[in-house]
Amino acid sequence: MAGPPGFSKEGSGLKRRTGLLVQQKTQHKDKTRAWTRAKGLGEEHKETGTVSGLAETPRSYNIDLSSGSPRRNWSHIRVIPETPRCRRELLVNVDFPGQDITILFSPDAEHCQQLCTQHSSCRFFSFIRPDSTRTSNFYCYLKSSSSGQPNVQKAILGITSGYSLKPCYPDPLPCLPHVYHDVDFPGADFRTLFTADYEECQKACTSDPASCEGKLFPNTDITMHSINVPLAASPEHCQALCSAHPLCASFTYVSADFKCHMKGSTQEMITRAVNGFTSGLPARFCQLDNKWLKKNYAGINFPHNDIRSFVVDNVETCQRTCTEDPNCQFFSYVANKPPARNLCYLKRVITMPAPPRIIKLANIVSGFSLKNCHYKVIV
């Protein structure tokens, strides 16, 4: 795990992008910011006859880790599918080969299961445990099929598989209290400090105020290379997209074309004055002003990330259904565009911490912020 210049023994590193903590016990040099893997980011499309919005109860969101497309078989849209059953069990030394959607990093099978639960298309997963003889330790393979079930199961040592918890009314803000000995989450460092032990490092990560930066800078452009340019409804929406994307270190929103320019990590931030541009930093662990969340956006479509779709009479019913569904974060409603008229698409993306990389490393203890654990009993 890279540390800043002069970083020495018994130091601890806090990681802003994914809300992680790491205790460092060996000397390192040449601090660099690392990048986090993520496939794409939530986009918006202008589309006549479409109304999009978010659940009325504010929820954080928007890493787009899928590339699905709206359902096209309209003749079957009124068929109510069989409700999938809740399956919490983990299948040790079992692999579900094939049918991969994407690959992320997880420290254990439980974390991988939570990632699958939060991914809009994932129905089951396979996790390569650290005791596996394979070189792909800590890989979390998210998977899906038209039936919602794996086509094949194989007995393989070092792999744990399981199912999405979407049918189980999952906690939208899961508590992640476990710590991982001799495991490093390299990259995404934003501050280092000395602590007596890893418990103190975890407390510092949980309470660190520097992870909450909500200020916007009007008429300002950050002149760095953009790693992704989705559309956003407002500067606040752009900030939410940046906050949920592990690679995003800053952003610039252009009001003229609704483009949200996501900027990556760099040693120096260069700005210039430009009318109509709004820039800012991500705010990953604080509650921002949520007024923009409650506004519906006529003529704007949030493509991909569909959980399910169905026919309703109006956009209010669509939004209410999204609010009542624990898996739904935002929606798109097609008001008067055949053949998808009156279709309500419920959507979600992954928002929980996902390390950019995980490796085995002696004398390192890694873990997550406990910000989501303050009202939960940790067993």
pLDDT of res. 173:
84
- List, as one string, the DSSP characters of 263-300: E---S---EEEEEEEEEE----SS----GGGG--EEEE
C-alpha closest to that of 243 among 3, 40, 19: 19
Distance CA 211, CA 180 (A): 22
Q: What share of the chain is helix, strand, coil (3-state, %, to 5)?
A: 15, 35, 50
Per-residue pLDDT band at 290 (split at 50, 70, 90): low
SS3 at position 74: helix
**Per-residue DSSP letter, 84:** P
Residue type, 83: T
Distance CA 370, CA 20 (A): 9
Per-residue pLDDT band at 339 (split at 50, 70, 90): confident
In this structure, the chain runs to a length of 379
C-alpha closest to that of 350 among 207, 160, 170: 170
Choice between 318 and 300, residue whose per-residue pLDDT is larger: 318
Per-residue pLDDT band at 286 (split at 50, 70, 90): low
pLDDT of res. 194:
93
Answer for the pair 95, 153: CB distance below 8 angstroms, yes or no: yes
Strands 297-301 and 226-228: unpaired
Beta bridge partners of 191: 14
Strands 179-184 and 359-368: antiparallel
Distance CA 355, CA 184 (A): 10
pLDDT of res. 29:
32
Please report, for residues 8, 80, 175, 180, the alpha-carbon distance to residue 26 in angstroms, rounded to integers and kept in the order given: 7, 57, 29, 16
Distance CA 13, CA 27 (A): 12
Number of H helices, E strands in the chain: 4, 22
Domains of the chain in sequence order: 11-38+175-210+354-373 (3.50.4.10), 41-78+289-347 (no CATH), 91-164 (3.50.4.10), 213-280 (3.50.4.10)
pLDDT digits (tens, 9 = 90+) for 54-103: 666 544 333 333 333 333 343 344 444 456 789 999 999 999 999 999 99
pLDDT of res. 76:
40
**Ranges 12-26, 73-87, 91-105, 334-348, most confident:** 91-105
